[in-house]
Every structure is written in C-alpha cells, then in structure tokens.
Structure 1
Amino acid sequence: MPNRIIIDRIVIGNVQDDFHPGAFKAALAEFVSTLIFVFAGQGSTMAYNKLTSNAPISPAGLVAVALAHGFGLFVGVATSATISGGHCNPAVTFGAFIGGNLSLLRGILYWIAQLLGSTVACLLLKFTTHGMNVAVFALSPGVNVWNAFVFEIVMTFALVYTVYATAIDPKKGDVGILAPLAIGLVLGANILAGGAFEGAAANPAVAFGPALASWNWYNHWVYWAGPLVGGGIAGVVYELIFISHTHEPLPGGEY
C-alpha cells in the first residue's frame, strides 16, 4: 500500500489499517484482559498485606503472590489471544513491534488500553478495599536502580521470548492453551526470582496502575526502561535468529 511506511520489518501503519472497528475491539480485549490480570495479581499482594499487617513478605507469601500473578496472566492471555494476541503488557507489544509483527499505531492503541486496564483495576481494588493502599513496586534495601534495571531486562526478555516462541512464531503449530500457560508460568517464575529484590514487574502497565492510584512515582522509570529494553531485545533476537524471513508482517499488525 503506498501510504504504508515500512522500514525493513518495522511497520508504522496507517489510520485505515490500524484504527478500524476490529482494531478497537482488539484494544478493548487488551483493556479487559489487563484489568483481569492486574486485579488478580495486585489483589493478591494487597490481601497478603492485610493478612500480615504489612509485614515483609515471607517465602510462602512470595509463592502465593507469584501463583496469583501467573494464573491471572494465564487467564488474561487466554481470553484475549484470539482477539488481540493477548499481550496484556506494553513490553510484549513493543517486542512484537520491534520484530515487525505489529504496527506502531496499533501498538500505541494497545498501550493505551493496557495502561487504562491496569489503572481501572487498581482503582477498583482501592474502592472494594475501602481505600487500602495499592502496593507500589519498590526496590528492597540493598538493591539499587541499576540492579533493578538489569533484573527487569532479564525477566522481561524471558517473558517476551516465551511469547515469541509459543504465540508469534509462524512455525509453532497448534499449541492451543500451551501458549498462555507457558507465558503465565514464566511470569510466576520471574516473580519468585526477583520479587524479593525489586517486585519483578516485567510489565510497565503492572507498575503504572499502582503508581497512578497511589501517586508514587519513585524509581518508576526502572519499570518502564527495563521491560522495554528486555522486550525489544527478545523481539530482535527471536525474529532475526529463529523466525524465517520468508513471511511478511501480518495485515494490520495482528498475530
């Protein structure tokens, strides 16, 4: 199409392709699935804080929170996979864009939906818990911003790499429910690895909702920069090394 700008495999997109009714349905699916995921994950953290009177998280508590986040993401991805691709994460969207599997304009639409979904989930949690504090992602004592930055890069790389291998790769075959299950499991494992150090967001939307609801932006940039770098690297690595370049970007940037 003459008005579609493609730089190598990077697709900018156009209004006709990326802002039609189907695109807004996909964005709505991203909103709902991100809301489901963040409500379950953030709610589990708040429930733990209530039950322990805000005591430092215990090993058993960390496992419970990791499972809640993993299950929540599993459901969020599974319920929106056939509509929007089941991103539930701006870093996944960015990784898909960098790999040429999503247009920039569609990615921006998804980002807006994901951030709104996370924000609404956190506001609903504040309302239903009578104003209880939403848990903001923060660094543990002894962990500096660069430690957290690398943690977020590595964890998000693992997450987006898994998304590519199970959901985006055209050679994957019919993996069915395995894709959202694998994506949920790798998130749960990441939280077990990094949760005690810096919260283990691996998702800018997951960090954005609580920060906005609590108006606490301290070190918030880490939870954007790390995941976007990690997601971008995963997109480039998987696309360049493992995906055959005989296929073209999908119409409208969908997968």
Structure 2
Amino acid sequence: MPVVQKLINIALAEFLGTATMLFLVCTGCTLGIQGAVSSLHLSLCAGLSVMAAIQMFGYISGAHINPVVSLAALMVDEISYLETPVYIVSQILGCLTGCGLQKMVTPLQHESQNPERGICVNAPHETLTDWEACGVEIILTTIMVFAVLATWDKRNGNNMDSVALRIGFLVGVLNLAAGPFTGASMNPVRSFGPAVWNNDFRSHWIYWIGPTLGSLIATITYKYSFMRVQLGVTDYK
C-alpha cells in the first residue's frame, strides 16, 4: 500500500474510532434521558465503547484511540515517527467531533453526574488533591498500557482471540475500581473533548500528565524487562 494511502487510512480510522468512543461514553453520562446513572452503568459504557472502536477499526489502524497508546506503540516500534502525529492529530479531532455530536443531540436541560462540571467532564473527587488524582491516573494507565503491550507481543500471538472484548472489559474494570476517584480517564483526548465543549479546564492537566507518565512507566518497564533488546531491535525469540 502506498505510504500516503496508508496514512489516510490510519487518520480516518483513528478519527472515526475516537469519535465513536467519545460519543458513546458521553451519551452514557447523560442524566435525565438515561435516568439514574450508576457506577456500573458508566463503567460498562466506557469499556464497551472502547471494545466497539477496536472491533470496528482495530484491523486498520490498531484502534489506539488514545495518544498515550500511540506513544507506547512508537516506543516499541509498532508505528513509525511519520505515523505518530497522524494518530495523535486524528484522535484529537475525533474526540472533539464525538463530544460535539453528543452535545448536538442532547437537550440543554439534561445534566451530568457532576452538574457543576458539565456532561462527561472528568474531575477528581472533591476529597482528592490534584496530585493524588494524578497518581490514580498514572497507576490506571500503567495497567492499561501493560495490557495493550501484551497484545502486541509476538510471543502472545496464540492468545489474541477476542482482543476487542478483553481490552474493553479491562477498561471497564479500571473504571469500576477508580471511576469515582478521577473518572478513570487514562486517555488525554477522553478528557480533552468534554473540557473544550464545556469550557471547563479545572485540574485538566491531570488528564494529560498522569496518562502520559503511566504510559512511559509501562512501556519502559515492559520493553526493557520483558522484551530482549539487541542493537535497538526487539528480539522475541
């Protein structure tokens, strides 16, 4: 496949995948139409929306739908330096589009789980400091990226059936565990779209710094502990 066509395919898949994920997650957060929204409801919506995006676009671009996953992919040579900005820009545009579509079809009187912050805006629990919330995001993202790296490990190739479902349920359980702490974002664009559309950037830095550090911790640990690296080439043998 020509390079330009490949980049276009990646861009479109990541844009549509991220838009799909944001639309489903933010629609699932909407009170009034949804009625009372439980923690289980929100967690399943988060996990299964990721599953849907991977099922739809995983075979095209890998369905990273998350800049810190693309960062990990770059560090383990799953994607190239040329492809990386295509992934990230497409994800940012997708998050703005998906959240915008949810705002477009949702009447103004409906609220979020946290009415002070707007629909789908991630925020630390009021009892947490920003640094505690950042620590939660670091830990959650470390776990998530470890799991993603395992799916890319060629030694794990015989266990890759139902990857979309597995990653979806992993995201779901992480949301069940820590959603009440920070919203369990683990994804800068998951938090960026709602922050832009609701013009609410309070404590927003947590959702870029925490996931990025978590991704770096997971990728560096996995690459240099579980992958044997010789002359800069990952050796799975």
2:21 maps to: 37
Deviation at 1:176, TM superposition (A): 4.1
> Could you give the per-residue CA deviations for residues 52-85 of structure 1, whole angstroms, max 9, x where no partner exists?
4xxxx6xxx0011100111110111122221111
1:148 maps to: 133
SS in 2 for 1:26: helix
1:235 maps to: 219
1:161 maps to: 146
SS in 2 for 1:163: helix
Q: Distance in 1 between matches of 2:128 and 2:26?
A: 22
Deviation at 1:105, TM superposition (A): 3.1
2:123 maps to: 138
Q: Distance in 1 between matches of 2:162 and 2:222?
A: 19
Q: Distance in 1 between matches of 2:145 and 2:186?
A: 9
Q: What residue ranges of structure 2 are gaps of 5+ in the alignment?
A: 111-117
Q: Which moved more, 1:196-205 or 1:38-47?
A: 38-47
Q: Do the aligned partners of 1:33 and 1:79 also contact (CA within 8 Å) in 2?
A: yes
In the superposition, the TM-score normalised over structure 2's length comes to 0.87
Answering whether residue 56 of structure 2 is matched by residue 70 of structure 1, we say no
User: Which amino acid letter does the alignment assign opposite residue 205 of structure 2?
Assistant: W
Question: In the superposition, relative to structure 1, how do residues 83 and 193 fare at CA in structure 2: closer, same or farther (>3 Å)?
Answer: same
2:115 maps to: none
Q: Do the aligned partners of 1:170 and 1:243 also contact (CA within 8 Å) in 2?
A: no
Question: How many residues matched?
Answer: 224
1:97 to 50, 74, 79: 74
Q: Distance in 1 between matches of 2:74 and 2:157?
A: 22
> Could you give the per-residue CA deviations for residues 153-196 of structure 1, whole angstroms, max 9, x where no partner exists?
11011111101112x11211144443222211111111111111
User: Which amino acid letter does the alignment assign opposite residue 69 of structure 2?
Assistant: V
1:5 maps to: none
Q: Which moved more, 1:144-153 or 1:169-178?
A: 169-178
Deviation at 1:145, TM superposition (A): 0.7
Answering whether residue 159 of structure 2 is matched by residue 182 of structure 1, we say no
SS in 2 for 1:141: coil
Question: Identity over aligned residues, as a percent?
Answer: 30
Q: Distance in 2 between matches of 1:105 and 1:29?
A: 16
Q: What residue ranges of structure 1 are gaps of 5+ in the alignment?
A: 1-16, 250-255
SS in 1 for 2:88: helix
1:13 maps to: none
Question: In the superposition, relative to structure 1, how do residues 27 and 121 fare at CA in structure 2: closer, same or farther (>3 Å)?
Answer: same
Answering whether residue 189 of structure 2 is matched by residue 205 of structure 1, we say yes
Answering whether residue 200 of structure 2 is matched by residue 216 of structure 1, we say yes
Q: Which moved more, 1:98-107 or 1:69-78?
A: 98-107
User: Which amino acid letter does the alignment assign opposite residue 88 of structure 2?
Assistant: W
Q: Distance in 2 between matches of 1:88 and 1:117?
A: 9
In the superposition, the TM-score normalised over structure 1's length comes to 0.81
Q: Which moved more, 1:176-185 or 1:147-156?
A: 176-185
Q: Distance in 1 between matches of 2:33 and 2:136?
A: 24
Q: Which moved more, 1:177-186 or 1:197-206?
A: 177-186
Question: In the superposition, relative to structure 1, how do residues 23 and 92 fare at CA in structure 2: closer, same or farther (>3 Å)?
Answer: same
User: Which amino acid letter does the alignment assign opposite residue 11 of structure 2?
Assistant: A
2:87 to 101, 110, 116: 110
Q: Do the aligned partners of 1:33 and 1:88 also contact (CA within 8 Å) in 2?
A: yes
